[in-house]
Amino acid sequence: MHVYLPIAEISVNMFLLIGMGAGVGVLSGLFGVGGGFLMTPLLIFIGVPPAVAVGSEANQLVATSITGVLAHWRRKSVDFKMGFVLLTGGVIGSTGGVFLFKALQQLGQIDLVISLCYVVFLGIIGLLMFSESVRSMLKQKRGVARRGKLHKHTWVHGLPFKMRFHKSRLYVSALLPLFVGMLVGVLAAIMGVGGGFIMVPAMIYLIGMPTSVVAGTSLFQILFVVANVTFLQAWQNQTVDILLALLLLFGSVLGVQVGTRLGAKLPSEQFRVLLALLVLLTCGKLAFDLVATPGNPFSIALGGGH
């Protein structure tokens, strides 16, 4: 059954959209990621204009992240103070990102920048995840657990404006989470992702937060960043398709539950490798599209160029 998306201005099979939502939802539930990095390229692939894909996906992520934040709040695994510093950076970054998006769109280079961002970030994260989970699988086999230093002092600890974060048991410069939040905010606006896949490693390895509060706190910040992106994209560019977001949402709400239940039954290490491979596969496909000779080098854009 076809449904005409009023903002994307294309007619798409309704069950395809719900199915995509469900499929990405299962993966989100399984791996605890938002899934924006899979959904946005998929939407562009089925013909949704990139700007509408990014805006509507941000809208859908508002729903996904509020569900997560509420669950973590009940378990008291959100560091609100850290979250506020992160989201201050996130709101600044994503606001800048939306305007950058508009400028790149007028230059005709937005598709290129979206693809390049995906290739670079998915490539780095995928490789890191892959090598780490393979290493820990090997370690498990050998049964050796090496213990690292409890606290390493690096350049990060020399930054000014130090702040105490009780929940995370940290005393670090506020500039660090502010900067991480900003970077993720820019990416959220340009790539149509929540940015959890960059946020989580940055919180663990760069800021040094304990893993117990990482997921809840990153979701807390993502909620505000995607809400900000949704608002700005709707206000500035009119590129949020509520109908598209709702259809994806409907599928993903169901999918996430299936994924979470599935995830509890399956060995997590092997699945981390699978997620890494999935990330690398998406990266590889996008990289291939950048270098492969296109079927038709010409494309049409409405409205005047520069």
**Residue number with CB closer to other proteins (5 or 20):** 5
Determine the Cα–Cα distance for residues 164 and 30; give it in Å rounded to an integer: 34
Residue 14 CB, nearest approach to other proteins (Å): 9
**Residue number with CB closer to other proteins (143 or 297):** 297
**Residue number with CB closer to other proteins (174 or 223):** 223
**Residue number with CB closer to other proteins (65 or 282):** 65
Write out the residues near other proteins by the rule CB under 8 A.
Answer: 1-7, 9-11, 59-60, 62-67, 70-71, 108-109, 111-112, 227, 230-236, 238, 240-243, 245-246, 249, 253, 256-257, 290-294, 296-306
Size of the chain in residues: 306
Residue 27 CB, nearest approach to other proteins (Å): 17
Residue 78 CB, nearest approach to other proteins (Å): 15
CB 281 within 8 A of CB 42: no
**Residue number with CB closer to other proteins (103 or 108):** 108
- Give residue 238's Cα distance to chain centre: 22
At 274, is the secondary structure helix, strand, or coil? helix
> C-alpha angle with apex 179: 174 to 183, nearest 5 degrees?
155
Q: What residues contact 64, with CB distance under 8 A and at least 6 apart? A: 28, 34, 35, 194, 249, 252, 256
CB 82 within 8 A of CB 217: yes
Residue 170 CB, nearest approach to other proteins (Å): 29
Residue 81 CB, nearest approach to other proteins (Å): 23
